[in-house]
Structure 1
Amino acid sequence: MLRAVVPPEPERVWPFPIRTALLGMAGMVLIAGGGMGAGATLIHDPLLANGAFNWIRYGHGMMLATWMLYVGLGLAIWAWIRLGRHARAGRVNHAYMIRVIVMWIAPLLVAPPLFSKDVYSYLAQGDLALHGLDPYAVGPSALPNALSDNVSIVWQNTPSPYGPLFVLLAKGIVAITGDGLTSLISGVILMRLVLAVGFAALWWALPRLADRLGGNSSIALWLVGANPLLVVHLIGGAHNDMLMIGMMAAAVVLVLDRRHVAGIALLALAFSVKATAAIALPFLIWVWMTHIPNATRRYRFVKASFTAVGVFGGVFVLCTLIAGVDLGWIPALSGSSIVINWLSLPSGIGQAVYTVVNWVHPWGDATPFITVCRTVGTLLLLYILVKQWWLARDGGNDAVRRAALGMAAFALLAPVTLPWYFSWALVLGAGFAWSTAGLTLAACGSVWLLLITYPSGGTALYDWGYLVVILGVSVLAAVSLLKPDPLNLSLRIVRDAPEKALRHHQ
């Protein structure tokens, strides 16, 4: 007896998540608008100083701007979590995800600096180079003008800790926009556009990393590209980490694809923006080594190492010569140690020990405790990096995974840690397959790290009541990734993706 052949059910094509995209975009618009009064605004803003909206920077106007910004953050987080449920259920492909991300970052490109004043430091350092001063020897205060006036007092006398390529980019931006008060606004916008090249590199690299590392391209783009921690801090805050991580991710893809020279050269460019990218180099040497056929292990390691170091060093030297600077930025890296917060595990332990000792016996200064703990933390970090590097000696995907672990250890154990530093490890790890528990923890941590800085750039790490509130918000966001409307606030039944789709894409 013949049995009828039932054709397979065609795969459902989901529509573009327009409501989620618009929800996030509305949040970003509110963040940008609120940033006019509550962000890291100019001391004398030429657009607002004598305009109809000058009131937004003072008193009740600033309070209104702050509420507007936080409502925007709430909408952005809500939209990101909704987008995450779409990604987990397979309702968005990576092309849809990129369109959503573009919609979300567009309002922030023209917003005032948010959650940080670092972009003013970048421009001031470029201005120093443009006027023939060495940004690795003097701080922004050496050239008093509208640029240096807006640099945080912490960095006024601190030389630049950034690589020659970034100094060259900052110099070029100031040469185009000028150093006047009005020009400073166009300088911030142009700096953001330059750094957005890093975001574009991420859009190219993340789907390819997911393909090579066994992950899901939509999840990878959601976890990194759409993450409010990166969008708000790295685009809104205009941090050069954005350019560094974009080039680093693309470099890893190239090396995995056996385009070793191009990958290492791109990693050297990332290093020439910010030194952290160098952590990935020894791990990528293992990957390169495993691609060399028909030779002893020692020969392959020596060949890969010498070639990689030669390419890396050659590109870096070329950037240094073109920028017309020296290696002064290497010792200047220690200048950031003046920032002390407990997000850096060694600094936090040092502060805690000092507090306990001070209860028992008054002690005038916490510096010795912090210095000792930072020294121990640095030694522990070196041990972890070396161990992870050695365990990665078989190369392949495991080397990338261990590089991500090394980046995470660096963010935790470095003398200074800022919230967006955790994006380094997230970028390298996003391409792997994530468990439900892993995604939930990443969502919780991302939201918490997003909110621990005030919009003006100050830290909230010692406002304990505020920290408890944002921890609750972060946990709620993480739970909402798994269960729509966990507080049962909706007046209708909220249904998410079918269980079959969820099981298939987890």
Structure 2
Amino acid sequence: MSAQPSPPIDGPASLPEAPAPVAPRWLARFGCPPRRTVLLGLTGSVLLVVGGFGAGGVLVRDPVLTNSALGFWRYGHGREMATALVYLGVGLLVWAWVRLGRDVLASRVSGRAVLSTAAVWFAPMLVAPPLFTRDVFSYLAQGTLPLRGHDPYQVGPDVLGDVLSENVHYFWQETPAPYGPLFILLAQGMSWLFSATGQSMIVGVVGWRLLLLPGLLLVVWALPELTRRLGGRVPVALWIAVANPVTVIHMVGGIHNDLLVVGLLAAGSLFALRGRHVTAIAIVTSAMAVKATAGVALPFLVLVWAARLPGSFRVRLAKATAAGLGVFGAVFAFWTFVAGFGVGWLPALSAPSMIVNWLSMPTGVGEVAFTAVNLVAEVDKQPFVNVARILGAAVLVVIAVRQWWAARDGGPDAVRQAGVVLLAVALLSPTMLPWYVSWGMVLLAMTAWTPRGLAYVVFGSVWLLVVYYPDGETALYNWPYLAVCALLAGLAAVSLLRPDPLHLAAGARAPAPPRPEPATTRRRPWPL
């Protein structure tokens, strides 16, 4: 991952270099790549929205569709058609993203082109129903609980007994909120707006999406400078972190608070490398006050701070740790005091561990071990899962300590190692959900990547898109479905470097080798 990028595999020597595509004038003003790539992804997004109204995380009683001529879209054959549109939309969006990735690898598009293209793909998602999840309904319920006199860290949405609780997934009905005090404050504000508009679920869903969108804007703001400091290329980083279908569909379409977390992580990391350490610690502490996982980055930001202080390593580390703890304590105490519910959310952090699926590596190992033993003797599965999770936690601690020590010189390498550990946390935690990968990838996207590494990113991204069904239920135990998805994800990965791996088009041409960016572009403060 740290190796310098190398060009994709060249085509036969007899073929001329593919000419740079020419965008129409109305797109060229925004630095966009060819219209076909833009419109292909836009079509995919629109199909996802249309299909999502029937197959996504729909309301139990939809105020628009339930009593209309379009109500069939939510049931029977109509729902099957809607599901087909969702998957067609996923396929078109992935296809467009891979096409854009080829242009990025060949240096045919700028960062501004990638960003403006992603903006076109995002636009339909702003009015989409929740896709591949129902989490936003939990957010609305958790924000409403304190407005009605309940402690969100003591009771679950089921105590509400109204339109809010009926739309929350059954698995989370009695589960207290596992999020920090800043999230509860945001949820209260959104739920107040929800109540003021007559409990309009459409306003609540769209409102939450807009509330979390600043996280994406923070990523876009921090990315150019952070990418230069971490040794990556801006177009590649934008392609991985922003234009990625996981961001478009899961993070924005699915409405996950992880979007705000990754934005604060990126902004805090940039401020740390700029030498504004108090601001950096305060921002990442705020991210932790949304979701506790963000706190993993704090010890690495302390190393960045320590590297700028005088004295021996131990002295510098002691000073930076003391100062960092002071900032952390003040900011965390502030959000806790304003929210008014104490630290009751800390015991609720174990709630996600109730999910048992093999997307979590330790859980997967435990399930495999159980399956093997169960062939010989009938045993209970949970002990196998528990032991594997304990071993996974031990491995995670070793990885975190090793990466932290390797980053003891501070600087950009500490931010890079923080990304590695955040990714390891997602993979080795007792529970893993597709959007958890964003914690580490938002930082790792800004490092140097090889073409082969980017092909792995394509495979992983496509895989994470489809391991849950459009309505938010898990698909992880539908083995024929997963086999087909794995083959398609592999085809997408290979297609990044080989435009026609199945040889369906005669005379298909490999992408042109990357052309170096002009020196003037590299000196721009915002090399988009």
- Asked if these proteins are the same fold (TM beyond 0.5), I'd say yes
Q: Are the counterparts in 2 of residues 127 and 179 from structure 1 also a CA contact under 8 Å?
A: no
The one-letter amino acid paired with 2:365 is I
Counterpart of 2:106 (choices 81, 89, 93) is 89
Q: Quick check: 1:355 aligned with 2:354?
A: no
- Deviation, structure 1 residue 405: 1.6
**Equivalent residue of 2:346, what SS?**
helix
Whether 2:359 is the aligned partner of 1:332: answer no
Q: 5+ unaligned residues in a row in structure 2: which ranges?
A: 1-19, 24-31, 522-528
Using the alignment, how far apart are the partners of 1:502 and 1:366 within structure 2? 55
Residue of structure 2 in register with 1:249 after alignment: 266
CA contact (8 A) 2:135 2:255 kept: yes
1:48-447 alignment, distance < 5 Å: 48-178=65-195, 183-292=200-309, 294-363=310-379, 365-447=380-462
Query: Do 2:499 and 2:511's aligned partners in 1 also have CA atoms closer than 8 Å?
Result: no
User: TM (normalized to structure 1)?
Assistant: 0.94
Unaligned runs of 5+ in 1: 1-11
Letter in 2 for 1:49: T
Native 8 Å contact 1:46 1:181 kept in 2: no
Following the alignment from structure 1 to structure 2, what is the Cα–Cα distance between the partners of residues 427 and 103?
21
Q: Alpha-carbon deviations, 1:354-389, whole Å to 9, x = none?
A: 2222211112x3111111211121122122212211
Check 1:500–1:273 CA distance in 2 against 1; reply closer, same or farther (3 A cut). Answer: closer
Counterpart Cα distance in 2 of 1:204 and 1:115:
28
1:259 to 1:483, Cα distance in 2 relative to 1, 3 A: same
8 Å contact kept, 1:140–1:156: yes
Deviations 1:440-492 (A, max 9, x none): 1111111111111100101111111111111111111111111212222236x
| Alignment check: 8 A CA contact 1:147 1:180 kept | no
Deviation at 1:503, TM superposition (A): 11
Letter in 2 for 1:83: L
CA contact (8 A) 2:126 2:209 kept: yes
What's 1:489 paired with?
504
- C-alpha deviations, 1:48-93, integer Å up to 9, x for none? 1111210101111001101111110010000000111111112222
Q: Compute the displacement of 1:179 (Å).
A: 8.4
Given the superposition, is the C-alpha separation of residues 439 and 260 from structure 1 closer, same or farther in structure 2, using an over 3 Å criterion?
Answer: same
SS in 2 for 1:178: helix
User: Equivalents in 1 of 2:162, 2:361: separation in Å?
Assistant: 37
Total equivalences in the alignment: 492
**Is the 8 Å Cα contact of residues 158 and 165 (structure 2) preserved in structure 1?**
yes
Q: Distance in 2 between matches of 1:502 and 1:61?
A: 50
Secondary structure in structure 2 of the residue aligned to 1:417? coil
In the TM superposition, residue 296 of structure 1 has moved relative to its aligned partner by 2.6
**What amino acid sits opposite 2:291 in the alignment?**
K
**1:203 alignment partner, SS class:** helix
CA apart distance, 1:422: 1.1
CA pair 180-151 structure 1, distance change in 2 beyond 3 A: farther
Matched, 1:30 2:44: no
The equivalent of 2:16 in structure 1 is: none
How far is 1:395 from its partner?
1.2
User: Using a 3 Å threshold, how does the CA distance of structure 1 residues 233 and 179 change in structure 2: closer, same or farther?
Assistant: farther
**SS of corresponding position for 1:101:** helix
Change (3 A) 1:301 1:361: same
Q: Could you tell me how far 1:299 is from its partner in structure 2?
A: 2.1
**Matched letter for residue 63 of structure 1:** E
Q: Indicate how the Cα distance of structure 1 residues 86 and 132 shifts in structure 2: closer, same or farther if over 3 A, else same.
A: same
- Partners of 1:396 and 1:172 lie apart in 2 by 38
Report the Cα offset of residue 106 of structure 1: 1.3
Q: Give the residue type in structure 1 aligned to 2:387.
A: V
- Residue 391 of structure 1 and its aligned partner are, at CA, apart by 1.8
In the TM superposition, what is the alpha-carbon distance from 1:500 to its structure 2 partner? 5.3
Larger relative contact order (CA 8 Å, sep ≥ 6): 2
Q: Contact 2:182–2:335 at 8 Å: present in 1 too?
A: yes
Range with greater deviation from structure 2 (95-104 or 194-203): 95-104
RMSD value, Cα: 1.9
1:180-238 Cα shifts (integer Å, max 9, x gaps)? 88511110100000111111111111222111111100100001101111211111110
1:498 matched to 2:515? no
Structure 1 partner of 2:62: 45
